[in-house]
Amino acid sequence: MKNVTISLDDEVAQWVRVWAAKQNTSISQLLGVLLRRRMQEENGYQAAMQQFLARAPKALKSKGERYPSRESLYER
Q: Mind listing the pLDDT tens digit of every residue in the chain (76 residues)?
A: 889 999 999 999 999 999 999 999 999 999 999 999 999 999 999 889 999 999 998 888 888 898 889 998 898 7
* pLDDT for 11: 97
What is d(CA 32, CA 40) in angstroms, rounded to the nearest whole number? 12
What was the pLDDT predicted at 40?
93
**Cβ-contact 38, 49 below 8 angstroms:** no
The CA distances from residue 32 to 11, 37, 54, 57, 69, in Å, are 20, 9, 33, 40, 54
